[in-house]
Amino acid sequence: MTGMLDNKVVLVTGGGRGIGREMAMLMASHGAKVVVNDPGVSLDGKDETDGPAREVVRDIRAAGGEAVADFGSVADADAARAMVSLAVETFGRIDVVVNNAGILRDVIFHKMTDEDWNSVLQVHLYGSYNVSRAAAEHFRKQESGAFVHMTSTSGLVGNPGQANYSAAKMGIVGLSKSLALDMAKFNVRSNCISPFAWSRMVGSIPNTPDQEERLKGLRMLTPDKIAPVAVFLASDDAKDVNGQIFAVRGNEVFLMSQPRPLRSVHRSEGWTPETLRDHMLPTLKTSFIPLEMSRDVFSWTPV
């Protein structure tokens, strides 16, 4: 049980299943002491059980590692502070936060309820803020630390029926970049992973018969493919990696773009609605980003 994370203390939210479980297990196998947070809720955020977190802790300990379970909800700021405190009280410090916890409430936008919207943002975006904010005080004082956040191509590119999830995941990108900028002077890093992996979250998304062939390839993208990137970003070997977004799809790793100017036009006398129509539109239209979905951009068979 030695490796890139020897003596690091890592908090993995949503660590009881899927990608979170694989990250927690691999972190431990590389020497980390792990707080496995998972309230054990169902996909929509209900039906709590402490089983998943306890099982991961048992597996880590059985392999010779150190771990402790936490069952709080990241959507609760007090619970987020408590899970960070648990890491410090149990292992003496906290070095890495992996913001992985998430739920889904997929529905086409004109049918989305306030509860659908609020619940997803509370877990994904507010949850990432709550845990990061609680850990930031410790990172600042010890002048070291790493955040690893989970974003999604649902936000980076787009997917139908996921306005709540997409908004939250794009919000996490902004949060990560702000953390990278604000805390770089304390030797604290913040990066995002956009994972492609077959999990209960992906499996819950309705698909038409013509999409089934594509899903065959997606089902081959197991969660364990994501974990090595998380371990690397958590390690001191990634000390020069900050404010970046990595998409991981099977054996492929992509550095994702971030918004930058593409083209520009100007008029010394300023603009009117008419000159925008006649000058700006035809000039810039050829550089418009197509209205694509994630599967349109990542259209080839995974490697």
What residues are annotated to the active site?
Answer: 165
What is the CA 197 to chain-centroid distance, rounded? 12
Please, what sign has the CA dihedral across residues 77, 41, 235, 2? positive
Compute the distance between CA of residue 227 and CA of residue 41 in angstroms, rounded to an integer: 22
296/246 Cα distance (integer angstroms): 18
The answer to whether the CB of 168 falls within 8 A of the CB of 127 is no
Those residues with Cβ within 8 angstroms of residue 266's Cβ, 6 or more apart along the chain or in another chain: none
DSSP state of 301: P
Distance CA 16, CA 23 (A): 10
**Given 3-state DSSP classes, what are the helix, strand and coil percentages for the chain, each rounded to the nearest 5?**
50, 15, 35
Spatial distance between the Cα atoms of 143 and 162, rounded to a whole number of angstroms: 38
